[in-house]
């Protein structure tokens, strides 16, 4: 059934991936690159897990390893709209992608700014482009401010961010929202179709022994790189959060675009707290009945974990086998 859904969708879905790699962002890039259901138009970067210089370099590293020499990497905002940048170096390390041996990227960032890139791409292709955001929402909010009409022109927006039960930076707030709550508020208030994959959902996407074994079996350079990334991420999560297996947040947002049947979502009204002493960055989520004139978003609730990893690992397998250019035209079943 899922199989049919993916292949039957016809032409691949065009996405811009706005991210802050970041270990789990790196997996999200690999999933987008290796999935025949996705046409990855560009990778735009933002400050978050690390500075924008580092997240941009890391995006270039991933594009190099994945053979994505024709996918522009475009650097974006160096910090939140109004606040000082807070990074997540306790999880991502000094480079933002600590763990594997360093890789010298051959992909270099494209000219221009991510905010212009997002606005120009979306306005030039109305109704076609899905914006997937897996870092703080600074670039997306700036794009909305520059050209509010992107809200009508975009196909839909899927973010990794927020939480309705509990946060990871504070008890109330998830990192991506906490870093730039003013940006998040603008994104939640814009009149577009928005799906929030928060911690409640992404904490089901744990990387365990079985997944590591599958990567060992694939054995390609990108699979080995991923093993090193995930080992570092697992150790960081054990040390800093006391979790046995690390949740791999960001590919959940990409996976939702590829196969929404892997997810249970529920409609809710979400407000972003920007002024609370203890609750700044909280996504206050009301699953109650819809009220006239009150905006609703879809919120991820439950993940088919097995199906999710099948999608991710088969994408990694494909990315290891084929080179740039052949990825988009590979019509072999994603879930074979």
Does the annotation mark 249 as catalytic?
yes
For residue 275, give every residue at least 6 positions away whose Cβ sits within 8 Å of its Cβ, in sequence order, or none. Answer: none
Residue nearest to ligand PIR (CB): 175
Which parts of this chain interact with Ca ion (CB under 5 A)? 20, 22, 25, 134-135, 250
Task: Give the active site residue among 113, 249, 269, 331.
Answer: 249
User: By C-beta, is 250 or 317 nearer to ligand PIR?
Assistant: 250
Spatial distance between the Cα atoms of 296 and 96, rounded to a whole number of angstroms:
34
Q: Is 91 in the site for ligand PIR (CB under 6 A)?
A: yes
Q: How far is the CB of 98 from ligand PIR (least distance, A)?
A: 13
Residue partners of 54: CB distance under 8 A and separation at least 6: 95, 96, 97
Q: Is 200 in the site for ligand PIR (CB under 6 A)?
A: no
What residue ranges in the chain does DSSP mark as E strands? 13-19, 38-45, 73-75, 129-133, 156-160, 194-197, 263-272, 283-286, 297-303
Task: Report the distance separating Cα 310 and Cα 33, nearest Å.
Answer: 15
Q: Are 275 and 172 in contact (CB under 8 A)?
A: no
Tell me if 22 contacts ligand PIR by CB under 6 A. Answer: yes
Q: Which does 58 bind (CB under 5 to 8 A by kind): ligand PIR, Ca ion, none?
A: none
Nearer to ligand PIR, 273 or 317 (CB): 273
Closest CA to 3 of 41, 36, 39: 36
- The interface region with ligand PIR, picked from 170-178, 184-192, 255-263, 315-323 by CB under 6 A, is 170-178
- Smallest gap from Cβ 236 to ligand PIR, in A, equals 8
Measured distance CA(281)–CA(160) in Å, rounded: 14
Residue 176 sits in the site that holds ligand PIR (CB under 6 A): yes
Phi and psi (nearest 5°) for 149?
A: -70, -10
Picked from Ca ion, ligand PIR, none, the partner binding residue 67 (CB below 5 to 8 A depending on kind) is: none
Query: With CB cut-offs between 5 and 8 Å by kind, which of Ca ion, ligand PIR, none does residue 259 bind?
Result: none
Q: Which does 168 bind (CB under 5 to 8 A by kind): ligand PIR, Ca ion, none?
A: ligand PIR
Sheet containing strand 38-45, edge to edge, reads: 73-75, 38-45, 13-19, 129-133, 156-160, 194-197, 297-303, 263-272, 283-286
Number of residues that bind ligand PIR (CB under 6 A): 15
CB count within 10 Å of CB 149 equals 12
Q: Quick check: 97 binds ligand PIR (CB under 6 A)?
A: no
Among 130, 168, 206, 280, binds ligand PIR (CB under 6 A): 168
Q: Contacts with ligand PIR in 233-252 (CB under 6 A)?
A: 249-250
Q: Pick the closer one to ligand PIR by CB: 222 or 253.
A: 253
Q: Is 55 in the site for ligand PIR (CB under 6 A)?
A: no
Residue 17 sits in the site that holds ligand PIR (CB under 6 A): no
74 three-state secondary structure: strand
Q: How far apart are CA 253 and CA 260, in angstroms?
A: 10
Residues 196 and 165: beta-carbon distance below 8 Å: no
Binding mask 24-53 for ligand PIR (x = CB under 6 A): xx-----------------------x----
**Of the two residues 160 and 313, which places its CB atom closer to ligand PIR in the complex?**
160
Between β-strands 194-197 and 263-272, what pairing exists: parallel, antiparallel or unpaired? unpaired
For binding to ligand PIR (CB under 6 A), which residues are involved? 22, 24-25, 49, 88, 91, 134-135, 160, 168, 174-176, 249-250
Report, as residue numbers or ranges, the catalytic residues: 249
């Amino acid at each position: 059934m899922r199989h049919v859904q993916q292949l039957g969708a016809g032409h691949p879905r065009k996405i811009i991936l706005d991210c802050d790699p970041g270990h789990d962002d790196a997996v999200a890039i690999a999933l987008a690159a290796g999935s025949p259901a996705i046409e990855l138009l560009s990778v735009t970067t933002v400050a978050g897990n690390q500075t924008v210089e580092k997240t941009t370099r890391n995006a270039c590293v991933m594009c190099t390893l994945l053979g994505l020499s024709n996918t522009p990497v475009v650097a974006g905002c160096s910090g939140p709209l109004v606040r000082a940048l807070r990074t997540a170096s306790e999880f991502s390390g000094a480079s933002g992608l600590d763990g594997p041996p360093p890789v010298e990227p051959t992909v270099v960032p494209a000219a221009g700014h991510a905010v212009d890139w997002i606005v120009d791409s979306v306005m030039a292709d109305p109704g076609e482009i899905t914006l997937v955001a897996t870092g703080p929402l600074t670039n997306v909010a700036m794009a909305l401010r520059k050209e509010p009409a992107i809200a009508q022109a975009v196909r839909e927006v899927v973010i990794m961010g927020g939480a309705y039960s509990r946060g990871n930076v504070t008890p109330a707030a998830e990192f991506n929202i906490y870093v730039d709550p003013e940006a998040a508020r603008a994104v939640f208030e814009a009149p577009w179709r928005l799906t929030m994959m928060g911690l409640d959902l992404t904490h089901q996407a744990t990387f365990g022994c079985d997944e590591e074994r599958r990567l060992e079996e694939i054995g390609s350079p990108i699979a080995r790189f991923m093993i090193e990334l995930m080992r570092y991420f697992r150790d960081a999560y054990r040390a800093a959060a006391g979790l046995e297996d690390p949740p791999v947040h960001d590919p959940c947002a990409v996976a939702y675009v590829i196969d929404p049947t892997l997810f249970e979502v529920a409609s809710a009204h979400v407000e972003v707290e920007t002024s609370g002493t203890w609750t700044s960055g909280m996504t206050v989520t009301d699953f109650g009945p819809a009220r006239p004139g009150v905006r609703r978003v879809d919120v991820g609730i439950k993940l088919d974990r097995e199906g999710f990893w099948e999608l991710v690992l088969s994408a990694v397998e494909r990315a290891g086998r084929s080179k740039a250019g052949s990825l988009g035209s590979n019509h072999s079943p994603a879930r074979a």
